[in-house]
Amino acid sequence: MHTDRERCVRAVQSKDARFDGWFFTAVLTTKIYCRPSCPVVAPKPENMIFHPSAAACQQAGFRACKRCRPDTSPGSPEWNQRADLVARAMRLIGDGVVDREGVPGLATRLGYSTRQIERQLLAELGAGPLALARAQRAQTARLLIETTALPMADIAFAAGFSSIRTFNDTVREVFALSPSDLRGRLPRTTVIAPGVLTLRLPFRAPLNPDNLFGHLAATAVPGVEEWRDGAYRRTLRLPYGHGIVALTPRPDHIACRLSLSDMRDLPVAISRCRRMLDLDADPVAVDDELRTDPVLAPLVDKAPGRRVPRTVDEAEFAVRAVLGQQVSTAAARTHAGRLVTAHGERVEDPEGGLTHLFPAPEALAALDPESLAMPRTRRTTFTTLVTQLADGTLHLGVESDWAESRARLLSLPGFGPWTVDVIAMRALGDPDAFLPTDLGIRRAAQELGLPSTPAALTARAAAWRPWRAYAVQYLWATGSHPINFLPV
């Protein structure tokens, strides 16, 4: 969008928050960059230039605005609605792969050369993978500076910097303040316990929390997830350790409370929580498209801003999808809870009832199949899945190619269209995944006068592309299942 100068100027002059994260405004006279909704008086159009990323602004010599804090904008919805190389690379960078494995590790995961990845990222985002990862480190450092009492040296390494000097130089360059000045300038949240952070996760309005948190709470696995005191809480398996997160819906943000065993996992934990709650979506664009269908229009108008509830762990969700085949939500929770109790890693949760991490594929692959309380055919499906996840034959992650992953899943015994599509929608993040064989969808179709057979409904749903996963949320909402209601 940053190449459409006229449209960008209009967005800045109208301070339209819908475009925050889509592009950044760099002001030639002040050498700062802002989000489109910056509350200060808009600069003259001739003094504006537009960049597709904060990293591109920083590389061009601009510093972040102290008023609108562009580093706290929602992410671009582009990276969660596309499956091309650039989108997959951005999802991996957000997941901290460059900091942990370097650019060669990023290239290996994507199956391309480092040169090709750098060229494509530079062409579309104005910055290469190292610059994009550096911008993310700066944002993480600012969060830790302002929300914890950690010493600056600890913050430097927790944010992913290789040295304290690099940390100091980057913070000064990006924010035009030293780390100490940044901490002293703004009030910081009281630290309740070591390793506990309280953050605000921004999103583009509107956001309807009913189906989002209702779905997560209604399908919560005992010991791993719970709804407590108005918050969805769950354990997280992270690269350097584990964590516990509590997410509470607010009118203008999601309140996030994180407890981490290793602070280096902060950017990854935030990225995965944002992805699970679909916070980088553009609900206005989605809803406007779905409103063009006269059947969906009343559903959208009644409760706009529905998100697709996703996951923090793709492999975990695939296992849970198999456990949920042809059984009720309650039965699926029971099966998953038994696995967690028997094979999950224990964690301490002083604030609630979380007890375990969901078992890793390696632990599930080692269990005795005869101990599984499920039909033999589904037992074969389960053991085949966890074995291939454990040995790397099948990999499900943020970088997964949606079409390739679908084909691999369909080749597994016991994997039909429903299982593959629900994994594509909620684990892989395909915004166009559709579930024509789902019982709830077929009931909704019948009530709304839509075709009820899978083939006919799929043909009818072609008009909802590329947002059929969001149409699923509106169709599900016509029922009385607990997934559609915010717990009380």
Coil, helix or strand at residue 410: helix
Evaluate whether 253 touches 201 at the Cβ level (below 8 Å): yes
What's the sign of the alpha-carbon dihedral 423, 427, 430, 432?
positive
Count of structural domains, the chain: 4
What are the residues whose beta carbons fall under 8 Å from the beta carbon of 431, sequence distance 6 or more?
80, 81, 286, 308, 466, 467, 468, 469, 470
CA 89 to chain centre: 14
Element (H, E) at 199: strand 196-201
- Residue 373 sits in the same domain as residue 465: yes
Evaluate whether 311 touches 397 at the Cβ level (below 8 Å): no
Q: Where are the alpha helices (DSSP H) in 291-327?
A: 297-302, 314-323
Residue at which a domain ends, from 138, 158, 185 = 185
Residue at which a domain ends, from 229, 257, 279 = 279
- Residue 64 sits in the same domain as residue 82: no
In a domain, 337, yes or no: yes
Evaluate whether 225 touches 232 at the Cβ level (below 8 Å): yes
Determine the structural domain holding residue 426 and report its residue range.
314-484
> What CATH number did the domain enclosing 90 receive?
1.10.10.60
Q: Are strands 356-357 and 24-27 parallel, antiparallel or unpaired?
A: unpaired
Looking at residue 125, its pLDDT comes to 93
Looking at residue 192, its pLDDT comes to 40
The CB-side HSE value for 170 (13 A sphere, CA atoms) comes to 24
Alpha-carbon span 385 to 90, nearest angstrom: 27
- Residue 169 sits in the same domain as residue 236: no
- Residue 103 sits in the same domain as residue 164: yes
Element (H, E) at 225: strand 225-228
- Residue 111 sits in the same domain as residue 60: no
Q: Which of 125, 120, 161, 121 has its CA nearest to residue 141?
A: 161
- Residue 88 sits in the same domain as residue 163: yes
- Tokens 């923090």 identify what position? 312
Looking at residue 59, its pLDDT comes to 93
Looking at residue 2, its pLDDT comes to 79
Coil, helix or strand at residue 259: strand
> What CATH number did the domain enclosing 247 receive?
3.30.310.20
Is 154 a catalytic site residue? no
In a domain, 286, yes or no: no
Q: Which of 8, 34, 57, 68 is catalytic?
A: 34
Element (H, E) at 27: strand 24-27
Looking at residue 195, its pLDDT comes to 61
- Residue 92 sits in the same domain as residue 216: no
Looking at residue 194, its pLDDT comes to 56
* Helix (DSSP H) and strand (DSSP E) numbers for the chain: 23, 11
Is 34 a catalytic site residue? yes
Evaluate whether 319 touches 372 at the Cβ level (below 8 Å): no
- Spell out the per-residue pLDDT of the chain, length 488, in tens: 778 899 999 999 999 888 999 999 999 999 999 999 999 999 999 999 999 999 999 999 999 999 999 988 888 888 888 889 999 999 999 999 999 999 999 999 999 999 999 999 999 999 999 999 999 999 999 988 887 888 999 999 989 998 999 999 999 999 999 999 988 876 544 444 456 888 889 999 999 999 999 999 999 999 999 999 999 999 999 999 999 999 999 999 999 999 999 999 999 999 999 999 999 999 999 999 999 999 999 999 999 999 999 999 999 999 999 999 888 888 899 999 999 999 999 999 988 899 999 999 999 999 888 888 788 899 999 999 999 999 999 999 999 999 999 999 999 999 999 999 999 999 999 999 999 999 999 999 999 999 989 999 999 999 999 999 999 999 999 999 999 999 88
Residue at which a domain ends, from 27, 45, 72 = 72
